[in-house]
Amino acid sequence: MAGGRLLASEVASQIAIHRQYGGVVPEVASRNHLTTLRPAVDAALRTAALEMADIEAFCATRGPGLASSLMIGFSAAKAMAIGREKPFFAVNHIEGHLLSPFFHCEEGILPAIGLVVSGGHTLLVEIRSFSSYRLLGKTRDDAAGEAFDKVGKLLGLSYPGGPNIDRLAREGNPGRYDFPRSMLGSGDLNFSFSGLKTAVRYLLPKLGVFHLPDVCASFQEAVVDVLWEKCLRAVEETAIRRIALSGGVSCNSRLRARFTDECDQRGIELLIAEPSLCTDNAAMIAFVGNYMRESGRSSALDIDIDPNLRLADSAAAEIAVTFPQQR
Ligand code: KG4
Ligand code: ZN
């Protein structure tokens, strides 16, 4: 990344490796991070036509996530920063997702309502600036992506279920099965998806034989309905008419189409990252790190990973850089 411009984005996906286990195995994930990290860094440097000596700052995800995987990336980026005497930026993974729709925008575009829908998180956030957030709502149980993956498993689909359900749902009837739209009447902006997953689990044995695309389309429609309705409510309550959709689930074709149509009809501005920036990637971490750098906030080198890091915690971790020449 240079001056907010993305020069290269390398993703060393482990999906194919974890598919055989039906989900992410932490020990396998961290071992693979060890072996893929250096080649991924080299490939990014090659694509950007840069040398390691050209890099002015290093960033890595501090959390939330799997401790053993966070540790690999965090230690490697710190080591590179120490070795080259450059500043280091510890970035919150959720903040990376949240700001990924703003890659080509100036901060002046804000405020916006951010909806992060990933495998681990479902959050509604008021984005006041690129460093100031107010949590409006979150899931009480499963994240939206987790619901896709668990239902995918129930339906015998390979991991991760989300993209497979998306694909199958295109041939299905979303009105065939009436799945619950949980917490639409809760009066707040929180979500719950575990009841929906349970409804699918109970329905399948009752049906015996079922039309897979119809189950996929009906389940997906229930998720999309709730995400849209809660997001619209957040727009109405805050009078902020701009939505920024992010996280792996925002690759979902039905979710993208529904949000695009609804926002068009209501004159609400919609920002969605391109699909390659929706699922986990280092570019979104560099984007936040670059913003931290521009606003003079670097991270101390004794800062550790935090597998349970929350959005509000990231600001507290920003303290003066420890290199003598930069104090
Ligand atoms: O943001 P992400 O790459 O990783 C986390 O931080 O969790 O999100 C991964 C999640 C998985 O649950 C995956 O099933 C879901 O995003 N996902 C999708 C689609 N593509 C990825 N869910 C529904 N439809 C998709 N097309
Ligand atoms: Zn993620």
Rg (CA), the chain: 20
Take atom 13 of ligand 1 and give the residue whose Cα is closest: 162
Which of 193, 258, 279, 311 has the most ligand 1 atoms within 8 A of CB, as the residue to mutate? 279
Sign of CA dihedral 21, 26, 27, 30: positive
- Three-state secondary structure call for residue 243: strand
Residue burial 116-154, b: 16+ Cβ < 10 Å; e: rest: bbbbbbbbbbbbeebbebeebbbbeebbbbbbbbbbbbb
Give the model's pLDDT for residue 27.
Answer: 87
- How many whole angstroms from 121 Cα to the centroid of ligand 2? 8
Integer CA distances (angstroms), 194 to 16, 118, 210, 257, in order: 26, 15, 21, 24
Take atom 23 of ligand 1 and give the residue whose Cα is closest: 162
Q: Tell me the C-alpha distance between 282 and 91, whole Å.
A: 10
Residue 251 Cβ contacting ligand 1 at under 6 Å: yes
Confidence of residue 29 (pLDDT cuts 50, 70, 90): confident
3-state secondary structure 82-138: HHHCCCEEEEEHHHHHHHHHHCCCCHHHCCEEEEEECCCCEEEEEEEECCEEEEEEE
Q: What mean pLDDT is reported for the chain?
A: 92
Residue 224 Cβ contacting ligand 1 at under 6 Å: no
Residue 247 Cβ contacting ligand 1 at under 6 Å: yes
- Asked if pLDDT for residue 323 goes beyond 70, the answer is no
- How many whole angstroms from 79 Cα to the centroid of ligand 1? 30
Residue 73 Cβ contacting ligand 1 at under 6 Å: no
- Asked if pLDDT for residue 118 goes beyond 80, the answer is yes
**Among residues 89, 189, 90, which one has the least CA distance to residue 134?**
189
Q: With pLDDT > 70 as the criterion, what percentage of the chain qualifies?
A: 95
- How many whole angstroms from 326 Cα to the centroid of ligand 2? 32
Residue 166 Cβ contacting ligand 1 at under 6 Å: yes
Between 155 and 317, name the one with better pLDDT.
Answer: 155
**Among residues 107, 110, 114, 48, which one has the least CA distance to residue 294?**
107
pLDDT digits (tens, 9 = 90+) for 196-251: 999 999 999 999 889 999 999 999 999 999 999 999 999 999 999 999 999 999 99
Give the model's pLDDT for residue 17.
Answer: 86
What is the DSSP pairing of strand 122-129 with strand 112-117?
antiparallel
Q: What is the mean pLDDT of residues 110-124?
A: 97
Give the model's pLDDT for residue 4.
Answer: 77
- Three-state secondary structure call for residue 43: helix
Q: Tell me the C-alpha distance between 225 and 200, whole Å.
A: 16
- How many whole angstroms from 202 Cα to the centroid of ligand 2? 30
- How many whole angstroms from 149 Cα to the centroid of ligand 2? 14
Residues flanking ion ligand 2, Cβ below 5 Å: 118, 280
Give the model's pLDDT for residue 313.
Answer: 57
Q: Which atom of ligand 1 is nearest to the CA of 152?
A: 14
Residue 65 Cβ contacting ligand 1 at under 6 Å: no
Confidence of residue 315 (pLDDT cuts 50, 70, 90): very low
Residue 249 Cβ contacting ligand 1 at under 6 Å: yes
